[in-house]
A and B are shown apart, each in its own frame.
Chain A
Amino acid sequence: MKFTRWPLAGVTALLVTMQAQAADGQKIYAQGGANPAAMACGTCHGADAMGMAAAGFPRLAGINAGYTRKQLADFRSGARANPIMQPIAASLSDDEIQAIAATLEAMPAPSYAAVGRAEKAEGVGATLALRGAWGRNIPECVACHGPGGLGVGESFPPLAGQSVQYLSGQLNAWRQGTRKNDPNDLMGHIARSMSDAEVQAVSEYFASLAHKGASQ
């Protein structure tokens, strides 16, 4: 499947580039989309797309384009409920979504330490992240999101470099069912098995992995 998708994506990208009015991801990010309701992403996510921790706006820089496309589609459909993002996603055209997702993936993000299962785990957050809680069928977070929560492919986003506010907000959204856009409820069933204290601790753990390295 992948093999056929890539060449097609390449052709599409070429065609889009050849059109004068091709969507410009950089421009959308900084100034907004063609529809005035599509606000500039940078307003909330920061000029460098590293998010605004205190307000809970997530880092977008370096995120896999496939993941971003799916999230924008899910905001549109309501599978991922968010009063701010829903109208913005709805006012973006498909071309604009393609462009912004590609732009975000290409934006530089700091590098983070790839802390894996072999490392020592002290405290509730690190223990969940690196050991899991298998008595409740909770795998190690890094088993799916990769060492250091660096993210894996289109479906397992980076956790490193996200804020406590954002991470705990998402885990709580899954617990409450306002976010249910994960394939096969893979994340939902885990979040629903977690306690308030665990949500907080594991969010603090991944947020604490931030800013280990300089911008690449």
Chain B
Amino acid sequence: MNTQLMLGLLAMAVGGSLHAADIKMDDQSQLTQQSTKAAGEQYFQPPKESELPANAFGELVQQGRAIFVDTQKYAAEYVGNGMNCTNCHIEQGRKANSAPLWGAYPMYPAYRKKNDKVNSYAERVQGCFQFSMNGKPPAADSHVMNALTAYSYWLSTGAPTGQELPGRAYPEIPQPKGGFDIAKGKQVYAEQCSICHGDNGQGQKAGDRYVFPPLWGKDSFNWGAGMHRINTAAAFIKESMPLGKGGSLSDDDAWHVAAYMNSHERPQDPRLVEGSVEKTRVRYHANDGVNLYGQEVEGVVLGQGIK
């Protein structure tokens, strides 16, 4: 390799790292679709809380669990919106088909073709903070990351490594035959969702803290979060919403309401390319599932961001 090229690469690397100093991942899309569960087979069963040892490990796991279920309180400096980890990972990260931690942890480190690098588990979790929490990623060796990793590791006790477990993702559901319909989604939202998430997706608080997460607007997940994909949101909604009544919406309604949710403005994708929504759309959203980033909805181009 000649010196000029090396210098050039070095400059690129430095320039790149300066430009994206806070960006830990190039994307945070899920890995491949989950394997399915055979009839009669049980989902992986994480250990019971009562089985935790009364020692420093058990204590760290409990701290990780606390951060996971009350991120607003226990990792406040890393959170930029009104979300808690457990808003998307139901049952404290234990529930099958709701991106359980026991399905994720044993899959890392993982090579990901999309960004052509090996992501560690810490990097994956940093992605959550950056996008879903619209915040700042905790350092890989921080207490918050150590605690979350310990919690994930413990929930994975007895799970095989490097093997996709049934129930590890939100099970994908087929798109409506005639495509999704935002107007229908608005109706489903009013009937099924607004009681908890508010008339305008603003969520609901008790005191100064959110109990029901905001679904769009400044306190919600940003345009880089996995949930901004309509297909991902539809799968999540079908499986777990309304809370405790998962599976009660039709596949089509889950898609419609996911489209309605994601047809609203939310915080900017922190990977914004040269201040351009269009360039960001081409680079990060054009092939990232079904999404409306950079698309025009009712005369307005989405992806402008909101603060």
Contacts and interface: CB of A to CB of B under 8 A. Distances in A.
Interface string A137-151: 111000110110011
Interface stretch (A100-108, A110-118, A199-207): A110-118
B212 to A, nearest CB: 7
B243 A117 contact: no
Interface string B174-205: 00000000000000000110011011100011
A155 B242 CA distance: 14
B244 A186 contact: yes
Contacts of A134: 90-91, 94-95
Interface string A145-181: 0110011110110000000000000000000000000
A184 B244 contact: no
B207 A150 contact: yes
A118 B74 contact: yes
Given A117-B69, A118-B66, A152 B244 contact: no
A143 B70 contact: no
B73 interface: yes
Nearest to A130: B69
A212 interface: no
A153 B198 CA distance: 10
B62 to A, nearest CB: 8
A83 interface: no
Given A118-B74, A139-B243, A186-B245, A144 B94 contact: no
Contacts of A156: 211
B92 interface: yes
B65 interface: yes
Interface in B80-99: 86, 90-92, 94-95
Interface string B41-73: 000000001000000000000100110011001
Interface residues of A, number: 30
B162 interface: no
Contact of A144 (B62, B196, B198, B207): B196
Contact of A118 (B65, B191, B206): B65
Contacts of A44: none
Given A2-B199, A117-B86, A137-B245, 9 more contacts: A1-B200, A116-B69, A116-B73, A117-B92, A138-B244, A147-B206, A150-B207, A156-B211, A189-B244
27 contacts: A1-B200, A114-B207, A116-B70, A117-B69, A117-B70, A117-B92, A118-B65, A118-B69, A120-B62, A131-B49, A131-B92, A132-B91, A134-B90, A137-B244, A143-B243, A144-B196, A144-B211, A144-B212, A146-B206, A147-B206, A150-B207, A151-B206, A152-B211, A152-B212, A153-B204, A183-B195, A185-B245
Interface of B: 49, 62, 65-66, 69-70, 73-74, 86, 90-92, 94-95, 191-192, 195-196, 198-200, 204-207, 209, 211-212, 242-246
